[in-house]
Structure 1
Amino acid sequence: MNLPAGRSIDVDFLRGLVLIVIALDHTTGSVLSRLMLHSYAFCDSAEVFVFLGGYASAAAYTAVLARGGPSGATRRFLRRSLEIYRAYLFTALLMLLAGGMLALLNTNKAMLDMVDWHQFVQSPFHELVGIALFRHQPYLSSVLPMYVVFALCVPSLIPFSTRMPAIALAGSALVWVLAPWLAPLVPVAHAGDWAFNPFAWQLMFVLGALCRLHPVTEAFQVSTLGRKLTHLAVAVALAMALAKLFFFVNPLPGEMKENLSIVRVVSFIAIAWLGAQAVRVGAVRWLAQRLPSIVTVGRTGLVCFVAGTVVSLAVDTLTFHGQIHGARGLMVSLAGDGATIVALIGIATLWQRLDARAKTERMTVQAREFVRMQFVRMTRN
């Protein structure tokens, strides 16, 4: 992408859209989910989410670096890592509480098995310690430990990628290739328990960071080579869509996502290039300006991710597709999709307002303290 410095409405819109899609994708009976990226590509919203996370992290680091220097930027991402860790613990707790509620109501047994409730009941202390140490990661919380690690790496990754982008990319690609053999190093009870092998998925994060630090210029995108790459991306995306729709209709093996297989990377890069063209011609900005509520979701990303886990689980339970069939089932599923979208937008809007109010109150307190100090100095003189 070739975007101006500072916060980008394009990126915030895409992040908001991806967060909504993630919530829909985790609702079993969702109708809209069937129209999303995973239905016609070999990648899904996860790749987009991690890529944009790397892009946003690079933008945030460089912005803080300009104001507070390297030490300030490092402290900011140490705090960010702690924030994500707290969000992970809170999400895991919410999943366990949801499991307890499902068990109490004796409903949605398929989801009950996924949230590790039975394991928690059998050995609560062991389960809680395992969650705190990343050894056990309840349903929908497994992406956050990966982000804890990535946030800790940002103060080293971004300066290195700024100076030596080719080496950074080559090193990231090498780690990605070795990821299946490096997987046992992650702190989980079983390597396959971490749905996102961080040694593999760091490639998406690094690609996002490099695109922010070394954006492809508009001149290159419209050059002869750039146009050829666009044609190639269209051909690859169409070929993979046809393959996904007509040949690979069944779910692909989980290890392909866990270890970020080559077909997923190629599929994502083709779609990302086409997305960059949509940004270049202003299509994404045009949508963002007309759908500001989705931008708000993108700007409250961590909050909406955590909230989305609960919303998707609640909607999945209330609209459980195994209980309702036919036209009525379709209407219930669509209503569930609408409720998911409205809930996330409502949570994002409320959180933004509360955050703005808190900032205003802090500024007021600081201003009062400044005036008081000035008055004290004047009276002493």
Structure 2
Amino acid sequence: MRVKSPRDPRLDVFRGLCLVMIFINHVPKNLYEDYTSRNFGFSDAAEGFVLMSGIAAGLAYSADFRAPMRLWVGFGRVWKRVWTLYMVHILTTMAALASASAVAVFLHNSEVLFLNQMDEVFSDPLRAFIGLTLLTHQFGYVNILPLYLVLLAVAPLMLMAAWRKPLWLMAGSVLLWAAAGQWHLSLPNYPTPGGWFFNPLTWQVIFITGLLTGVAMKDGRRFVPVKRWLQVLTGGFVLFAAVAAQVPEVSKAMGGTLWLLQDRLGLPWFLTAFEKSYVTAPRLLHILALAYFLSTFPAVRRACGSVFAKPFELLGRQALPVFALGSVLCIAFQGVKHALGDSLALDSALLATGLAAQFALAAARQYWPKPRTS
């Protein structure tokens, strides 16, 4: 009988850390956001969250797609989760709108109602509600779930390819990323012009990298083996990105070099720009280098298994409800800051309250006694 291997704590711990940083970054203009990961590299917590969502999907669903006789079971499990994500997103969207409305009613400040793409609900409500239902219109800070939902919906096809032709899947993913970047391809943003902020045609390369990593972990191996030269290369790149993010002179020199590469040598813009929607090369390379570098050291796994990491592991295990609650709270807290002004005391109180609520929800979901069935 095959013994079930213990759960790797790194996935939940880093997912929990990403949730904390996403929440802090989504309550703008607070002192604490200066210390989140986006200030020490080219990517931020969103890229990390999507990468780990791909790993989690590979671990959770890949076994059903290895053998042909279980394919329909796998499709059913994945699409059931997709439906859950859709319902959570719609509920989160309505709750975010309600939280912004509560600020307008009780604090007499309606500014937040006209931020984060909410104004379309009031200027063109009929089309806006069609867009919200179809996922083509998304409120800012509540728009990661549609990306994950779309990618997970097609994950069964990716998982079948991941077992049989993983390198072909990775190559196709990179080609799609490059094509979408070169020709600015995206999904429609009805009823407003433009495409999705989290563009599935480009962000899929992060998700698929995670998916292939999760499939390999399920099979008891690494997708990219540990090599000393890769550790040095990725560690050096992560260090350079941190220096460039913190030292203006280095950042300016790098920006000038990238501009020259595009203007004089004709490199495609998606290889030289820093554009989040299209996950341009500096951002993509940074999150992949960071993930590889951290995953190659046993000390990181031991640290993630320590008692100090348990709170973040708890958040990561309950990522969906925690993210939904955090998204609603950050919209409300933006409104509170508009009404009451910026101050360290207010920021500290809001963030402490929001994080405490998210930890409480995660603990309730994890430890609340389950009802007995007769």
Same fold (TM over 0.5): yes
Deviation at 1:217, TM superposition (A): 4.5
SS at match of 1:162: helix
TM-score by length of 1: 0.81
Deviation at 1:13, TM superposition (A): 1.4
TM-score by length of 2: 0.83
Matched, 1:47 2:47: yes
- Which amino acid letter does the alignment assign opposite residue 59 of structure 1? L
When residues 108 and 206 of structure 1 are mapped into structure 2, their CA distance, relative to the original with a 3 A threshold, is farther
Gaps of 5+ in 2: 256-271
Q: Does the CA-based 8 Å contact 1:175-1:200 persist in structure 2? A: yes
When residues 256 and 193 of structure 1 are mapped into structure 2, their CA distance, relative to the original with a 3 A threshold, is same
| Aligned partner (choices 327, 335, 345) of residue 309 of structure 1 | 327
What are the residue-to-residue correspondences of 1:115-134 with 2, within 5 Å? 115-134=116-135
What residue is the counterpart of 2:162 in the other structure?
161
When residues 38 and 293 of structure 1 are mapped into structure 2, their CA distance, relative to the original with a 3 A threshold, is same
Matched, 1:330 2:363: no
Matched, 1:349 2:363: yes
Q: Does the CA-based 8 Å contact 1:140-1:309 persist in structure 2? A: yes
- Which amino acid letter does the alignment assign opposite residue 353 of structure 2? A
| Aligned partner (choices 196, 201, 204) of residue 202 of structure 1 | 204
More off after superposition, 38-47 vs 146-155 = 146-155
More off after superposition, 332-341 vs 209-218 = 209-218
Gaps of 5+ in 1: 366-381
- % identical equivalent positions: 23
What is the distance in 2 between the residues matched to 1:220 and 1:301?
A: 28
Deviation at 1:124, TM superposition (A): 2.7
What is the distance in 2 between the residues matched to 1:183 and 1:122?
A: 27
What is the distance in 1 between the residues matched to 2:171 and 2:235?
A: 26
| Aligned partner (choices 207, 210, 213) of residue 211 of structure 1 | 213
When residues 64 and 220 of structure 1 are mapped into structure 2, their CA distance, relative to the original with a 3 A threshold, is closer
SS at match of 1:257: coil
Deviation at 1:49, TM superposition (A): 0.5
What is the distance in 2 between the residues matched to 1:218 and 1:82?
A: 29
Deviation at 1:290, TM superposition (A): 3.0
What are the residue-to-residue correspondences of 1:59-138 with 2, within 5 Å? 59-63=59-63, 69-105=70-106, 110-138=111-139
- Which amino acid letter does the alignment assign opposite residue 177 of structure 1? A
Aligned length: 346
SS at match of 2:33: helix
What residue is the counterpart of 2:282 in the other structure?
263
| Deviations 1:22-70 (CA, angstroms, capped at 9, x unpaired) | 1111011333321111001110001100000110001110355689922
| Deviations 1:207-240 (CA, angstroms, capped at 9, x unpaired) | 001112235659942xxxx122212222111211
What residue is the counterpart of 1:371 in the other structure?
none
For the aligned residues, what is the CA RMSD? 2.9
Q: Does the CA-based 8 Å contact 2:51-2:209 persist in structure 1? A: yes
- Which amino acid letter does the alignment assign opposite residue 357 of structure 1? K
More off after superposition, 278-287 vs 28-37 = 278-287
SS at match of 2:185: helix
- Which amino acid letter does the alignment assign opposite residue 49 of structure 1? F
When residues 126 and 186 of structure 1 are mapped into structure 2, their CA distance, relative to the original with a 3 A threshold, is closer
What is the distance in 2 between the residues matched to 1:142 and 1:178?
A: 23
What is the distance in 1 between the residues matched to 2:211 and 2:287?
A: 15
SS at match of 2:139: coil
Q: Does the CA-based 8 Å contact 1:23-1:309 persist in structure 2? A: yes
Matched, 1:296 2:324: no
Task: Select the structure that is richer in helix.
Answer: 1
When residues 338 and 179 of structure 1 are mapped into structure 2, their CA distance, relative to the original with a 3 A threshold, is same
What residue is the counterpart of 1:274 in the other structure?
293
What residue is the counterpart of 1:18 in the other structure?
18
More off after superposition, 34-43 vs 146-155 = 146-155
When residues 115 and 219 of structure 1 are mapped into structure 2, their CA distance, relative to the original with a 3 A threshold, is closer
